[in-house]
Amino acid sequence: MKKRLRLVPVALLFLFSSSWIFAQQGAQQPEYFSLQHLSPEQMDPADAALLKKEQRRVQEAAEFYGFDFQMGPWTQEQAVCPLIPDYLLMHYTRKDASGAESVFTALVPRQKGRVRIVPVLDHGVTRFKPAPQDPRNFQLFSEVVPHEVARKNSHEDGQWLLLSVCYAEMTGNSLQVLKNPGVDLRLISAIPPTLRVSVGGDQQQVLFTGPLWNTGYWLWNITYNSDGHIIAASSEQHSYSEPSILHPSEPQGRPIPNLPAPQPRPMPK
């Protein structure tokens, strides 16, 4: 006896395939890019010894900008940026009795040189310009990143996202960059890490999203010239986009008119 193949209706087949596609999309998880962050206990022993040795100089440099070390301990964290090989990049944070946060970054030289300070927040308040937008920090970044490293990694064949995240971390932001914002409908206006090159090739623009918080996210935009020097930077807060759910009205049916019954036709003889 021959077996007959059972045909699946096209509509049902489409339903199966659509369900599989949506299941695959729903299975995607957010992916992040970030620097390594270390507490003093986790740091390389040589780096930890250097930080301990230079702690007095860090304190003196920070006090010049009004940061007080007499009001309580500061939390220290190293952000490891391989593109800044000659400095330790250290975040210092502390909250006062009211909960307001003070933040600064210290760049501690591994060899000779002075400690550099990037003020970020003072009792919850930014300085005259937010740290990422301050031209002083553009210049400082050009000084601590070797020239050839900056030039190479600001172009399409370099590590442009790593270079940009190092700048964001230098200006006080411990962040995770979202690599695939499309997995979250609330981030429909966000973009994945992107490099845009000007028509003449003399400028490169890096855009990325991060960090996220309860009600929104940050969108970063950093522009480099052909030598890899930052000429503009911004970090803007954006609220999550709420997906719109449409409820279309049900289609209205049309009544079928009562047609007269067909009349029999006589058969020809």
Q: What is the pLDDT along the chain (269 residues), one digit of tens a residue?
A: 444 434 444 443 333 333 433 444 445 788 999 999 999 999 999 999 999 999 999 999 999 999 988 877 899 999 999 999 999 999 999 998 888 899 999 999 999 899 999 999 988 888 778 999 999 999 999 999 999 999 999 999 999 999 999 999 999 878 899 999 888 888 877 889 999 999 888 999 999 998 777 788 889 999 999 999 999 999 988 888 766 565 666 677 677 677 777 777 776 66
Burial class (CB in 10 A: 0-12, 13-18, 19+), 33: middle
pLDDT value, residue 124 = 82
What's the CA angle centered on 51, arms 45 and 55, to 5 degrees? 150
Q: What is the DSSP letter of 224?
A: E
Give the residue carrying structure tokens 């210049």. 139
Give the residue carrying structure tokens 């230079």. 54
Q: State phi, psi for 261 to the nearest 5 degrees.
A: -65, 145
Query: Would residue 53 count as lying in a domain?
Result: yes
pLDDT value, residue 13 = 37
Residues 6+ apart with CB under 8 A from 111: 86
Task: Write the CA distances from 90 to 26, 60, 254, 265, integer angstroms.
Answer: 38, 15, 73, 99
Query: Would residue 8 count as lying in a domain?
Result: no
Query: Would residue 249 count as lying in a domain?
Result: no
Looking at the 3D structure of the chain, how many domains does it have? 1
pTM of the model: 0.79
Query: Would residue 20 count as lying in a domain?
Result: no
| Contacts made by residues 257-263, CB under 8 angstroms, sequence distance 24+ | none
Query: Would residue 14 count as lying in a domain?
Result: no
Query: Would residue 181 count as lying in a domain?
Result: yes
Range(s) of the domain holding residue 157 = 30-239
Query: Would residue 180 count as lying in a domain?
Result: yes
Query: Would residue 207 count as lying in a domain?
Result: yes
